[in-house]
Amino acid sequence: MPVKIEPTVSRIALVTGGARGIGAAISERLARDGHRLVITDIDQGALERQTDSLRNAGVTILPVQADHADPDAPEAIAKTVEEQWGPIEILVNNAGITRDGLLVRMSLEDFQKVLSINLTGAFLMSKRCARGMMKAHWGRIINISSVVAQIGNAGQANYVAAKAGLIGLTKSLALELAPRQVTVNAIAPGFIETGMTAVLPEEVKTNYQSRIPLGRFGAPEDVAAIVAFLCSPEAAYITGQTIRVDGGMVLA
């Protein structure tokens, strides 16, 4: 008897930091797959531009300006969504920043700031959204980590600690939430062309490119495709995993 795959259903999906870069590509992809979309971002201008662009394409979208460094943000966001649409069913913890520097020069403030958005922000959003998912016996949480979480990176102690923490968080939440059919997975992108990487010096970019077997930088859409798959009925039996999207940069 073949395993019964549930039909694709339109869900309420929230993408943090969804106004630009990888988050924007994820929003566009989830909208294309028929989900109702909530995007959060700290950048009001970018949020408005992305909302207008998706609305013009016929997407049902709810933008919420938020700072994921603020521990009160998840409650305010979830309440807004619940009042208008209902509980969040798909959560993509994508918002992230870098504050690079070598250990001896890295301030406590820069260390804590990166952790507060990239890791604590994801923990708090997951905690708030898990309630509704557990009740519904269905949910998807996807954390955007990074390949550097698995290999380390000089000059990014704060960022790597946060991204490695996300992988541990993913595994623990996967175990906790599995009995309620909520899956929790992480994606570890390599070098993706966005505003975050555009600011890197040319020689750093050239060095990265030479380490990518597939010979090109990734596009935000390469990451969005994996998010879409993890939200699809076909991925119902995958949880606690970290999927690398890096053109073969890290093979281990």
By the criterion CB under 6 A, which residues form the site for ligand NAI? 17, 19-23, 40-43, 46, 66-69, 94-97, 117, 144, 146, 189, 191-192, 194-197
* Torsion angle in degrees (nearest 10) through CA of 24, 28, 29, 33: 150
Q: Which residue lies nearer to ligand NAI by CB, 138 or 231? A: 231
Q: Which residue lies nearer to ligand NAI by CB, 2 or 203? A: 203
Active site residues: 159
Contact 94, 44 (CB under 8 A): no
Q: Which residue lies nearer to ligand NAI by CB, 26 or 177? A: 26
Q: Which amino acid is at 101?
A: G
CB atoms within 10 A of CB 4: 7
Helix (H) or strand (E) segment spanning residue 183: strand 182-189
Residues contacting residue 175 through CB under 8 Å, at least 6 positions apart: 240
Provide the 3-class DSSP secondary structure of residue 112.
helix
Helix (H) or strand (E) segment spanning residue 61: strand 61-65
For residue 245, the Cα-to-chain-centroid distance in whole angstroms is 13
- Report, in Å, the least distance between residue 183 CB and ligand NAI: 20
- Report, in Å, the least distance between residue 215 CB and ligand NAI: 16
- Report, in Å, the least distance between residue 17 CB and ligand NAI: 3
- Report, in Å, the least distance between residue 233 CB and ligand NAI: 25
Q: Which residue lies nearer to ligand NAI by CB, 138 or 158? A: 158
Query: Is beta strand 182-189 parallel, antiparallel or unpaired with respect to 61-65?
Result: unpaired
